[in-house]
Amino acid sequence: MSERRDSSVKRRVSNKNEPKSESINISSDSTKSVAPVKSGGEETEIHLRNIKSAINQSIVDPLQVTKPTAIATTSTPTVENPNDVPLAIYYLVNFQHVCIFTALLPLFTLFTCFVTAYVFQYDEVHETHCRVYNIVPSISAITGVSPQRYFWRFSIALHLGPRIPIAFIYKNYYRTMLEKMQTKMQTERLANINSMITMILTLNCIEIASLGGVTYISNRENYPIHEKIFITFMICSLCHMLATIKLNGILHEDHTELSQTQRDSIKWKKILFAMSIISTVGLLIFFAKHRFYCHDLAFSWFAFFEYLIAIANMLFHFTVIWDFPCQHMLVVQATRTKVEEIFRSSSPKMD
């Protein structure tokens, strides 16, 4: 019994000596309650310091005033007077180089398409509705297969770009020459020649548009439309050639004023026009033989004359290098009035 009493007394004494957990209150301007932690340990002190610092950081100073943000203002830019814009040239290029590139690019592309299609796609480009023997594929055939069609279309896109400005340059060129002859001609004849110049411009623009239509609407995709556009191209091309030769004959009645390059230009225009007429007759004859009678090699002869027409047309437009041997194209910063004042004595009429 005495032993049991001693053990119970010892347990009571040990329970009194054990540390008790207590709640610690931390305040910094405002009282905050913290979860109970064990006292007496180093970890407890570190934990308390962390809590204090977190509370101090969360307190906002009521006296702190936020400074207003300055609002940026932009002043309306003043518009300069267009007449005060200084004269500046941004681009200058030899016009003859532009014409050479424009005229020879489709010729080079056509030759490339012919060789590659003839070598690598022989059966595909010689296929016709008659299924007869042929050795020369048509232009539509070699430019209608892949990848030649993409190369041809890209080339024609680059070709058509300068063709429009060249057409209007020719119009101003002819009108400038016509102004020099006003004292030698009657008013009625001057009006007729001026109408012819406008007609040449119109035919040239229709020819350019037809070339784009024939290129981008192939005979494989839509043959009826392709055929009609091709006929339009042929008619406008021949009429443009004839009207140009006729106009040059009127404007240069006195051939003593012509330079050698101008003589060469007129001579080759006539030769190429005659070549186009003969080739057109041959093309129509062999097209009829192929379409209605399916003769052997009829389509090859048709294609041969088609190539002659295309080459004659390209070389006809290539004569522009003789008509404008030393001209330049420029992009200038100036008002229209200032440009006209500077170039009034030598430039064509601008409209």
State the Cα–Cα distance between residues 314 and 276, nearest whole angstrom. Answer: 11
- Whether pLDDT at 55 is above 50: no
Instruction: Round the CA-based radius of gyration of the chain to a whole number and report it.
Output: 45
pLDDT at 133: 84
Would you place residue 339 in the very low, low, confident or very high pLDDT band (cuts 50, 70, 90)?
A: confident
> Average pLDDT in the 240-262 region?
85
pLDDT at 305: 95
Are the C-beta atoms of 125 and 104 separated by less than 8 Å? no
> Which pTM was predicted?
0.70
Lowest mean pLDDT among 67-71, 93-97, 219-223, 301-305: 67-71
pLDDT at 96: 87
State the Cα–Cα distance between residues 274 and 65, nearest whole angstrom. Answer: 94
pLDDT at 341: 77
pLDDT at 228: 93
Q: Write the DSSP symbol of residue 83.
A: G
State the Cα–Cα distance between residues 259 and 153, nearest whole angstrom. Answer: 37
State the Cα–Cα distance between residues 276 and 265, nearest whole angstrom. Answer: 16
pLDDT at 91: 83
Q: Write the DSSP symbol of residue 89.
A: E
> Average pLDDT in the 48-68 region?
47
**Which residue, chain included where needed, has tokens 């239509």?**
213
Would you place residue 82 in the very low, low, confident or very high pLDDT band (cuts 50, 70, 90)?
A: low
- Whether pLDDT at 1 is above 50: no
Give tens-digit pLDDT for 267-283. Answer: 999 999 999 999 999 99
Q: Report in angstroms the alpha-carbon separations of 224 from 73, 126, 130, 221, 301.
A: 64, 20, 18, 9, 22
**Residue 164 CB neighbour total at 10 angstroms:** 13
- Whether pLDDT at 110 is above 70: yes
Higher pLDDT: 5 or 304? It is 304
pLDDT at 42: 55
pLDDT at 81: 61
- Whether pLDDT at 312 is above 90: yes
pLDDT at 199: 96
Average pLDDT of the residues of the chain: 78
State the Cα–Cα distance between residues 261 and 267, nearest whole angstrom. Answer: 10
- Whether pLDDT at 25 is above 60: no
- Whether pLDDT at 21 is above 50: no
- Whether pLDDT at 185 is above 50: yes
Strands (E), 8-151: 25-28, 30-33, 88-94
Report the candidate in 283, 238, 316 with the shortest Cα–Cα distance to residue 140.
283
pLDDT at 26: 42
- Whether pLDDT at 260 is above 90: no
> Average pLDDT in the 224-247 region?
94
pLDDT at 202: 96
pLDDT at 2: 46
Q: Write the DSSP symbol of residue 81.
A: P
Higher pLDDT: 281 or 9? It is 281
Give tens-digit pLDDT for 111-165. Answer: 999 999 999 988 888 877 777 888 889 898 899 888 999 999 999 999 999 999 9
pLDDT at 65: 44
Higher pLDDT: 33 or 215? It is 215
pLDDT at 178: 86
Are the C-beta atoms of 240 and 200 separated by less than 8 Å? yes
Q: Distance of alpha carbon 295 from its chain centroid, rounded?
A: 44
